[in-house]
Structure 1
């Protein structure tokens, strides 16, 4: 069964309404499980979510995107902030947020530590250790970990 057929089946079973557009995989999605495009009505889904978290979680993400889809075509509030969306999402047991994937759970912080007093600093951006010193004792900073990108 391909993705569009699966989404059509979930739409009929969970919403009682047909899904008449296309659904496709989009491996460029990183932090979201799926995306709804109001302009042409198609849905994109993250294949990593299906592969790493399984069919049960993926079905809840399909429900989430179908909430956007059906509410948009009913001319109701289809955005995350709208009451119609929130009510329909809880009614069909869809996920509000995607659980962290293995690729996202890695630390995005750089950790620096003072060589003198062992004070540690977490930073998202790299700092110049030749220019900056420890704020406590003015000691030299060294990098402890590097996030894997």
Structure 2
């Protein structure tokens, strides 16, 4: 058997095991709706989950990193779908308590929200810098702000969290 066939067989095994685990934790009807696809357009993202469609997209570059990462990323994304399935129509945080519980149930307890895989990252130069006239804290942005924005910490501290023109961020410089 060639190396490519071995990898293909291992990928099928990973997918079958994950789907069987998902069936045990939810139900057959939900698990049968879940679709897993490879998305060759992904660059820095390892995977994505789409709740309404019950679809998971994985970065094919994961295969060259390791099959362990393929499995972990697949389970990470399935945990998103399982968390939303369990909560029904209730809104949940993407990497909140419900997701963490789903991760633990899928066999990846302590899973982190982000990865440190050797996937290329695109760094965009931040061209716009804004600062708060009250506290002096600044933020840098790739795009220019289109609306008036106030310093949230100052609004929290001095105005009960409500917008106040006094804390309006000022364009400090164009980097």
Short-chain TM bin: 0.5 to 0.7
2:44 equivalent in structure 1? 31
1:100 correspondence with 2:117: yes
**How far has the Cα of 1:60 moved from its partner?**
0.8
Counterpart CA distance in 1 for 2:82 and 2:43 is 24
Change (3 A) 1:37 1:4: farther
Question: Where does structure 1 lack aligned partners over 5 or more consecutive residues?
Answer: 110-123, 127-149
TM-score between both structures, scaled by the size of structure 1: 0.57
Q: Are positions 1:41 and 2:54 aligned together?
A: yes
Larger helix percent: 2
Does the 8 Å contact 1:24/1:45 carry over to 2? Answer: yes
- Provide the C-alpha distance between the structure 1 equivalents of 2:71 and 2:40, rounded to a whole number of angstroms: 17
Question: For 2:61, what is the secondary structure of its paired residue?
Answer: helix
Q: Per-residue deviation at 1:57? A: 1.5
Kindly report which structure 2 residues correspond to 1:67-146, keeping only aligned pairs within 5 A, or say none.
67-75=79-87, 79-91=93-105, 92-93=107-108, 95-96=111-112, 97-104=114-121, 108=123, 124=125
CA distance in 1, matches of 2:44, 2:102: 23
- When the two chains are superposed, the root-mean-square deviation of aligned CA atoms in Å is 3.2
Work out the number of aligned pairs and report it. Answer: 109
Q: Structure 2: 5+ residue runs without aligned partners?
A: 1-8, 128-175
Q: Does residue 14 of structure 2 align to residue 12 of structure 1?
A: no
